[in-house]
């Protein structure tokens, strides 16, 4: 966590068929439309859906911190 600011933390769920990091990317990309000044994230849960015995897509639940004061 960076310092000397007031942050708000939002919780997001992102998803991707390609892996955990792409699921993080998708959550951040979508959120960046409405949430500016995102500074850090934390992965709260890693999960996914299975079809035909294989991973159909990964899901990550993220806490994302952004500055209120910029």
| Residues in touch with a second copy (CB under 8 A) | 1-15, 19-21, 24-34, 38-43, 45-50, 53-59, 61, 63-65, 68-69
Residue 68 CB, shortest distance to a second copy, in Å, is: 6
Residue 39 CB, shortest distance to a second copy, in Å, is: 6
Residue 14 CB, shortest distance to a second copy, in Å, is: 6
Structure tokens at 23: 């699921």
Q: What are phi and psi of 6, to 5 degrees?
A: -100, 130
Determine how β-strand 7-16 pairs with β-strand 54-67.
antiparallel
* Cα 23 to Cα 14: distance, rounded to the nearest angstrom: 5
């Amino acid at each position: 966590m960076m310092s000397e600011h007031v942050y708000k933390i939002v919780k997001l769920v992102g998803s991707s068929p390609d892996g955990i990091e792409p699921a993080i990317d998708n959550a951040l990309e979508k959120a960046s439309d409405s949430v500016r000044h995102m500074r850090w994230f934390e992965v709260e849960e890693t999960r996914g859906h299975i079809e035909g015995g294989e991973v159909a897509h990964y899901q990550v639940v993220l806490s994302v911190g952004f500055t209120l004061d910029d």
